[in-house]
Structure 1
Amino acid sequence: MEITDFSTALFSLEGKRAMVTGGNGGLGRAFSLALAKAGADVFVPSLADDDGTTRRLVEETGRRYEFAQVDVTERGAPQRMVDQCGQALGGLDILVNSAGINLLSDDVREFGRDKWEPMIQVNLTATFEFAEAAARTFMEQGSGKIVNIASLFSFLGGRQSPAYAASKAGVVGFTKAYADELGPFGIQVNAIAPGYFATPLTTSTRADEVANARIIDHVPAGRWGDPADLMGAVVFLSSPASNYVNGHTLVVDGGYLVR
């Protein structure tokens, strides 16, 4: 591509088919809506039932929305979901691995395998298995985008939740490894590492004056992130505009890591 060929059309996802795991709530909803606004039809596999909000938002853009209630850690579920997406939307071009959990413990002595194992299974193993299943399709068609969701805690310690930090650090490492493996097939594998975002999961933290102030004081932007702040990042990494970006983790944190 010559520089004179550049066009904002490179950010278009018109006609693309996207799967967003956990894409019917929290940050996942923002990812689903962003892809739809950019032109993609969206398939959402999620354990949480769909209350209809994400469907309404996606369909208001004129794009298709399909939902499947499934445990992403269930053996065989990732390949089944890729097949179901293909049947529902006619194929798959983009995978966003958004499903994730965070189990906390105030006392490190109480953080055992009962919390460790579910988080590794959802945050890391399911991310690998969905990517592996999608890669089979992408390799056959010679193109595809995989966007994994990491975290600030991919780079920081994880007080109250060592498994979260471990699983998200693993996502960054896996992203690099799969980018190396799949790059020769025309597939890009990247990640987004969100900072502190205002979602239902952070309600109690934001309501705690001391904890809220500690976080805000560490963010040069001076505020919590809004899910909308992630929409441009996911569209970029899912679009032709990022065809020469591979193995990268894009941090979206208002500058938290610079302080």
Structure 2
Amino acid sequence: MNAPDFSVSGQHVLISGGAGGIGTAFARAFRDAGATVTICDIKPPARDEGFAFEPLDVRDNEAVRALADKIQTLHVLIHCAGRLIRHEEHKPEVFSDIVDIHLVGNLRLATAFRPHLARTKGCLINIGSMYSYFGSAMIPGYAAAKTAIVGLTKSLAVAYAEDGIRVNAIAPGWINTEISRRGREEEAFNNKVMARLPTKRWSEPEELAGTAVFLASPASRLINGVTIPVDGGYVAS
């Protein structure tokens, strides 16, 4: 019996939100594993790390289609683009925008790049959250979108199976990024998280990257339609 194949060398990986903390960590991991990486975001990365960069707002239908027309070959699509606005998401217009970025943007990219992934028998990796599993009084739009990512992942896995495309998601735990900064700085919230979290620390984006590389590798060929918590044991406690 052959050893499991964890290689992603030679693959082309597209990461939305690639200029952010988790997206950049994923980009570095795939690059270091031998893949070619293109990142897209509404703003360029803070420094050049050798990734191809394409400006993209995932809320823009035409822009997403134009990027799909520009990219010829793709093996892995990862939707990392996202934001949250604490205490503001009960406003319908803010709620709608948050859901558009995380959920509808995910579908836009998946639909636009389905033909590319079908040609390479590639995979789509979505990004959920701890809020895929429970609610949040402060960020209902974000929590609703991340809950829906679990269902979307299952649905696309079933729909895209006929093309040989696998669709999975990662649900990060409490990660040290700019998007989580206000939560880390809010003492009551931070204390509540730490009281339940077995590791008793905020994790680094790089600690998620191995799961993404694994899901893109042949070693995970039977994993399809699942959301994997990478959370230091938070949902288990």
What TM-score bracket applies, with the shorter chain setting the length?
over 0.9
TM-score (structure 2 length as normaliser): 0.95
* CA deviation profile, 1:185-242 (whole Å, cap 9, x unmatched): 2110000000111112222322333322221111111211111110111101111111
Is residue 128 of structure 1 aligned with residue 104 of structure 2? Answer: no
The answer to whether the 8 A contact 1:45-1:72 is kept is no
Offset of residue 48 of structure 1:
2.2
Is the 8 Å Cα contact of residues 167 and 224 (structure 2) preserved in structure 1? Answer: yes
Give the stretch that moved more between structures: 244-253 or 39-48. 39-48
- Which entry has the higher C-alpha Rg, 1 or 2? 1
CA deviation digits over 1:159-195, x for unaligned, max 9? 1111111111111101000101112321100000001
Once the two structures are TM-superposed, the CA of residue 34 in structure 1 deviates from its matched residue by 1.2
SS at match of 2:134: coil
> Which residue does 1:45 correspond to in 2?
40
Residue of structure 2 equivalent to 1:30: 25
CA contact (8 A) 1:188 1:247 kept: yes
Among 98, 123, 137, the alignment partner of 2:116 is 137
SS at match of 1:11: coil
Q: 1:93 is matched with which residue: 72, 75, 92?
A: 75
- Residue 218 of structure 1 is matched in structure 2 by 196
- Give the gaps of 5 or more residues in structure 2: none
Mapping for residues 144-163 of structure 1, pairs under 5 Å: 144-163=122-141
2: CA distance between counterparts of 1:118 and 1:24? 20
Alignment check: 8 A CA contact 1:192 1:251 kept: yes
* Superposition TM-score, scaled by structure 1 size: 0.87
User: Aligned to 2:146, what secondary structure does the other structure show?
Assistant: helix
2: CA distance, partners of 1:138 / 1:202: 32
Question: 1:183 aligned to 2:161?
Answer: yes
Count of matched residue pairs: 237
1:104 aligns with 2:122: no
Contact 2:171–2:230 under 8 Å retained in 1: yes
Partners of 1:192 and 1:251 lie apart in 2 by 6
* Matching residue within 233, 245, 248 for 2:211: 233
For residues 204 and 176 of structure 1, the distance between their equivalents in structure 2, rounded to whole angstroms, comes to 31
Q: Which residue of 1 aligns with 2:58?
A: 72
Question: Is the Cα–Cα contact under 8 Å of residues 24 and 32 in structure 1 kept in the other structure?
Answer: no
C-alpha offsets along residues 116-137 of structure 1, whole Å, 9 cap, x if unaligned?
1111110000100101111122
Q: Is the 8 A contact 1:45 1:81 kept in 2?
A: no
C-alpha distance 207-188 of structure 1, shift in aligned 2 (>3 A): same
Identity of aligned residues (%): 33
**Unaligned ranges ≥5, structure 1:** 60-64
Rounded Cα–Cα distance in structure 2 between residues aligned with 1:17 and 1:127: 18
Instruction: Determine if contact 1:43/1:85 at 8 Å carries over to the other structure.
Output: no
Structure 2 Cα separation of the partners of residues 76 and 239 of structure 1: 31
